[in-house]
């Protein structure tokens, strides 16, 4: 069974991951209603995705 020669400290392990930076998602405008939408997502306002109805939205009564 493999055995490490020396223990990697928590600090050294965490330093290895410091180059990761969180980025904001890319936004686009909905072609149907003009709302701001994330790429590759269904519009929350109208339910359209790439010009086609993907999810039916019901009006509140």
In a domain, 37, yes or no: yes
Residue 61 has a pLDDT of: 66
Q: Domain range holding 30?
A: 24-61
Sign of the torsion formed by the C-alpha atoms of 44, 49, 52 and 54: negative
pTM assigned to the model = 0.56
In a domain, 18, yes or no: no
- Identify the CA nearest to 37 among candidates 56, 46, 61, 23: 46
Nearest-angstrom CA–CA distance, 27 and 37: 6
- Identify the CA nearest to 33 among candidates 44, 41, 25, 22: 44
In a domain, 50, yes or no: yes
In a domain, 1, yes or no: no
Model confidence pLDDT, tens digit, residues 14-52: 888 777 777 888 999 999 999 999 999 999 999 999 989
What's the Cα-to-Cα distance from 20 to each of 8, 16, 23, rounded to whole Å?
A: 20, 9, 9
In a domain, 30, yes or no: yes
In a domain, 11, yes or no: no
Domain count across the chain: 1
**Beta bridge partners of residue 38, listed in sequence order:** 27
Residue 14 has a pLDDT of: 85
Residue 41 has a pLDDT of: 94
């Amino acid at each position: 069974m493999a055995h490490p020669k020396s223990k990697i400290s928590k600090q050294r392990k965490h330093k290895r991951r410091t180059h990761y930076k969180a980025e904001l998602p890319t936004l686009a405008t909905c072609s149907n209603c003009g709302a701001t939408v994330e790429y590759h997502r269904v519009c929350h306002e109208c339910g359209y995705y790439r010009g086609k109805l993907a999810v039916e939205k019901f009006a509140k009564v």
